[in-house]
Chains A and B, each alone.
Chain A
């Protein structure tokens, strides 16, 4: 593979007493679609702003597209977390203005803006003032503004926040299309399952520390599932007697039980044993979710108390 799009080496950043990012190392491969995950306040936006050279690291180096982000500004598309539009400007004019600032000149700009508005299902807004658009529509316009100059690298900070499911799906589709055209995309989100459906690579950070940097496939292999969902035919059963089951709880939806596997137990053996001991309506091995991976990683890294806190944080989002 060629050199990475973004290469972060030993970067730290503090704001006063708060250490936002600690000794971060990261490589974003060219052409990948990476999710940059973590709960609120994990240090995602700080890292992204450092990648964009909007703020500078206290220590370490960041290379973007083989150089410094400032020098390559026109090849990068950026949708900041703190994003807005000129309220009085017309949509098409706003997009043209941003394109011009991104170094696009010539008469094709207007056509390009119009084509993108249509792709983003905003066909009749070009002549409207930005303030006349709904928040979701504004966000789609901002997305267009970040990619209108056809950048090699797109950085989207919380692109899905505030979007309804229809527009979330639309935006995901656009991101996939861009990736297929060879664009490297990195986006941050605190909603972990969004990333699961979209990314081919995931970076997970918490409290400024990288917890995970792997492809989804690697994650699924590495974090084998530890939960079995078992729904007995007669409604209830005592699963704790079965070897390999460490704990059994009523499932949160009321149908059956969630069985936590004991350390070292093989899920296949345990499931066979359950079917052998009693009649079952259904039994399945649950897929690992990123939420669980995250909690496990926090547990391993910072102990049980931190893991419980992390679980709380995820629930709130």
Chain B
């Protein structure tokens, strides 16, 4: 046993305590996480300023007045993103509301192509000078000209407004002007009808609905969106860590073969001891990966005061299904790694199995939408898929029947036992084979050797 532990420790040390691993697994996600906080700032566009002179041909004169009002008012609105994050942190609103608020199309929203106005409005009562306006637009003297038919205000006509701009006009600016003029027309119409536009807007704006979850301790913000994402996050965590450490196992086994240290090792330990040690060592690497990513996830949830969304039994399930997933992948990787001489040969053999193992990446959509649907139930009992499908189901909102959980454990760990047995059979032959890589058929033959 001490030999197995010595192998496991070396495997762990030379995988996890290396610069490459620490940078790749620990620092990289930290950078990503920090990046999520910083990136929105990078994407926040510096507002471009629409400058110049805009001619408005408005027989009623009302639109010009309204336009002047809104163009001034738009420059002083608060930044909704900062406001919404502050609100979410304090637990006042949930994530859904936060997203809605942040995306609200108001000035300062980092994701809207916001512009500021610094326009001179040139008012015309009729189209007498239209030709000269056109000429001035072409020459660049005028930014544009809006021509309104009187019925736009009088009869609420749906068309009858034209905006003339130069060919090379900035499309963002054109869009901004269109919106401002549109709003000015609405204001002109309501004013004409004797109504208060602010009152109408206030009345028609859907209020933000806050959902509160009642927890043991009190109440907290309800992360409806996050709750939906949680099972998928769990599955990805499982998948990524099982594959990452499986891959390390593959590489380290191939390395031992290709640098010929294998026979030295086998003079001291049996192939089975070697394989067991390596698999255990990498299991710890995987657990560490899960722990790092999981803690980051929990830290992110705590940031929004939603860490209580994760329950202790979900973590237990994660651990159980992680071992199931990891040992399946690891057994496969150890067997293949022992049988080949380089990574390319390994990929040729491993591709068919990888296709099955990539299925969770497609399955997570229907399974998370319908955790107790036919597809979810059937795929729960296919050994290579069991841990990935089940982790989605047990972390989703709909409860999974107990018998299915028990059966999945039986099927999954049964599969693990079978795969480790097969891997052991292949490993003991494979480690000493050099030269041409074996075919899948030959691998099956090796299993039958006594």
Contact = CB atoms under 8 A, between A and B. Distances in A.
Interface of A: 52, 54-55, 70, 73-74, 76-80, 82-89, 97-98, 100-103, 105, 142, 145-146
Given A73-B268, A74-B268, A100-B3, 15 more contacts: A54-B266, A54-B267, A76-B267, A77-B267, A78-B264, A78-B267, A82-B434, A84-B260, A84-B261, A86-B259, A98-B264, A101-B3, A101-B6, A103-B3, A146-B264
A79 B6 CA distance: 20
B270 to A, nearest CB: 7
Contacts of B261: 83-86
Interface of B is mostly: helix
A18 B260 CA distance: 24
Contacts of B2: 100, 103, 105
Contact of A84 (B264, B267, B269, B270): B264
B95 interface: no
Contacts of A142: 264
A88 B14 contact: yes
Interface residues of B, number: 22
A83 B6 contact: no
Contacts of B7: 101
Nearest to B259: A84
Nearest to A131: B259
B235 to A, nearest CB: 34
Contacts of B269: 73, 101
Nearest to A101: B268
B265 interface: yes
A115 B256 CA distance: 27
A85 B7 CA distance: 15
A74 B273 CA distance: 14
Contacts of A89: 14
B268 A98 contact: yes
8 contacts: A76-B267, A77-B267, A78-B267, A80-B260, A82-B434, A88-B14, A101-B3, A142-B264
A88 B263 CA distance: 18
Contact of A85 (B3, B259, B434): B259
Contacts, number: 65
Given A89-B14, A101-B3, A105-B2, A83 B264 contact: yes
Interface centre among B14, B260, B261, B267 (most CB of A within 10 A): B267
A141 to B, nearest CB: 11
B10 interface: yes
Rank and list the top 10 A-B pairs by shortest CB-CB distance, nearest first.
A84-B260, A101-B268, A78-B267, A80-B263, A84-B259, A84-B261, A100-B6, A82-B260, A102-B268, A82-B263
A52 B101 CA distance: 73
Nearest to A52: B267
Interface string B1-40: 0110011001000100000000000000000000000000
Contacts of A52: 267
Interface residues of A, dominant DSSP: loop
B432 interface: yes
Nearest to A100: B6
Nearest to B4: A101
A251 B256 CA distance: 50
A14 to B, nearest CB: 14
* Most chain A C-beta atoms within 10 Å of own C-beta, residue among B255, B264, B432: B264
Given A85-B259, A100-B3, A101-B3, A145 B14 contact: no
A58 to B, nearest CB: 12
Interface in B189-205: none
Given A97-B6, A101-B6, A87 B267 contact: no
A83 B260 contact: yes
B262 to A, nearest CB: 8
Given A73-B267, A82-B263, A84-B260, A54 B6 contact: no
B1 to A, nearest CB: 11
B106 to A, nearest CB: 56
A97 B14 contact: no
A76 B269 CA distance: 12
Nearest to B432: A54
A227 B10 CA distance: 59
Contact of A54 (B260, B263, B434): B263
Contacts of B255: 86
B76 to A, nearest CB: 62
B432 A55 contact: yes
B102 to A, nearest CB: 48
Contacts of A87: 259
A162 to B, nearest CB: 13
Contacts of A103: 2-3
Of the candidates A74, A78, A105, the one having the most CB atoms from chain B within 10 angstroms of its own CB is: A78
